[in-house]
Amino acid sequence: MQPVLSIASLSKTYASGLTALNDVSLDIRKGEIFALLGPNGAGKTTLISIVCGIVTPTGGTVLVDGVDAARDFRMARTRIGLVPQELHTDSFETVWATVTFSRGLFGKPPSPAHVEKVLKDLSLWDKRKSKIQELSGGMKRRVMIAKALSHEPDILFLDEPTAGVDVELRRDMWALVHRLREGGVTIILTTHYIEEAEEMADRVGVISKGELILVEEKTALMKKLGRKTLTLNLADAMETIPAELGEWALTLKADGNELEYEFDANAERTGVPSLLKRMSDIGVGFKDLNTRQSSLEEIFVNLVHKGRGEG
């Protein structure tokens, strides 16, 4: 199937001489949730801005459903909804007027039915007559999404959708993104929060210093690069790790009641059996044990570190 968005060899060097993007190529599949993960200044916003026609690339092409976005900017832009990082809100307007106006900006004929649907999907229907300034931060954020969806785009960009949002709102936002996808929208989001990518994305791209250093299915990424952590609940708390266990990279947790060991689950020798044997030999008992997959966060930190070279 033709990708809904095809980015090829995209580069951007700003007038300052700073290269924010370097030869980035990426195909986005229809209907997927793609998370673009990267630290501050990695180039995420630059990438989105180019695709949305806000920033002109130095090189490369963007195809929206096979159509060159540079050659046919209007058409490409109509297919895309953008929810920017900052909340720009027209505070004296009502929710209904704001969303209706956004649709008009894209040259779409008025459609109260569509605006109604969007507001209902975003749980804003009851607030349609409220002025934006009367809304809570979370509601304002949803209005931004409603605006971006007002012209019925197929692709929705969410630039850090949950930056500065509390945990509960963040979960609401995740549920909302899933609902939007079920409605057929392809979603590309940028985030610093690994937890967010872990929770939402089908695929993850990692961008560091303007380069896309990795694109993977999330589950494969977590499995492939995933390290595991073994936690042993000790029979007796210990103050320090005995010297006899010095060859394993262990950490003492929970006031000396837990011993943690991180290992490579794919390695031929994980070190787990030998550790357990040594513990038994020296009389360190445990009541329980469990292993868990290392989080995407741990993997990500590792990757960005490698992507930056030896330093």
Ligand X SMILES: Nc1ncnc2c1ncn2[C@@H]1O[C@H](COP(=O)(O)OP(=O)(O)OP(=O)(O)O)[C@@H](O)[C@H]1O
Q: Footprint of ligand X on this chain (CB under 6 A)?
A: 14, 16, 18, 20, 38, 40-46
The token duo for 243 is 């010297």
What are φ and ψ of residue 172, in 5° steps? Answer: -60, -40
Q: Which own/partner pairs from 304-307 qualify as long-range (CB within 8 Å, at least 24 positions apart)?
A: 304/38, 304/39, 304/206, 304/208, 304/213, 307/206, 307/208, 307/209, 307/211, 307/213
Query: At its nearest, how many Å lie between ligand X and the CB of residue 18?
Result: 5
> Which of 11/78 has CB closer to ligand X?
11
> Which of 21/221 has CB closer to ligand X?
21
> Which of 193/263 has CB closer to ligand X?
193
How many secondary structure helices (H) and strands (E) does the chain include?
A: 10, 14
> Which of 40/240 has CB closer to ligand X?
40
Query: At its nearest, how many Å lie between ligand X and the CB of residue 309?
Result: 18
Query: At its nearest, how many Å lie between ligand X and the CB of residue 141?
Result: 16
Query: At its nearest, how many Å lie between ligand X and the CB of residue 16?
Result: 5
Query: At its nearest, how many Å lie between ligand X and the CB of residue 35?
Result: 13
Closest alpha carbon to 58 in 213, 214, 210:
210
Closest alpha carbon to 272 in 286, 256, 253:
286
Query: At its nearest, how many Å lie between ligand X and the CB of residue 57?
Result: 12
The token duo for 94 is 């009502």
Count the residues in the chain: 311
Element (DSSP H or E) covering residue 276:
helix 272-281
Contact yes or no for 125/119 (Cβ under 8 A) = yes
267: exposed, middle or buried (C-beta count within 10 Å: 0-12, 13-18, 19+)?
exposed
Query: At its nearest, how many Å lie between ligand X and the CB of residue 48?
Result: 8
> Which of 114/170 has CB closer to ligand X?
170
> Which of 41/59 has CB closer to ligand X?
41
Closest alpha carbon to 207 in 53, 20, 49, 43:
43
Provide, for the chain, the percentages of residues in helix, strand and coil under a 3-state DSSP scheme, each rounded to the nearest 5: 35, 30, 35
How many Cβ atoms are within 10 Å of 156's Cβ, its own excluded?
22
> Which of 49/294 has CB closer to ligand X?
49
Query: At its nearest, how many Å lie between ligand X and the CB of residue 36?
Result: 8
Tokens 């989001």 identify what position?
189
Query: At its nearest, how many Å lie between ligand X and the CB of residue 38?
Result: 5
> Which of 45/150 has CB closer to ligand X?
45
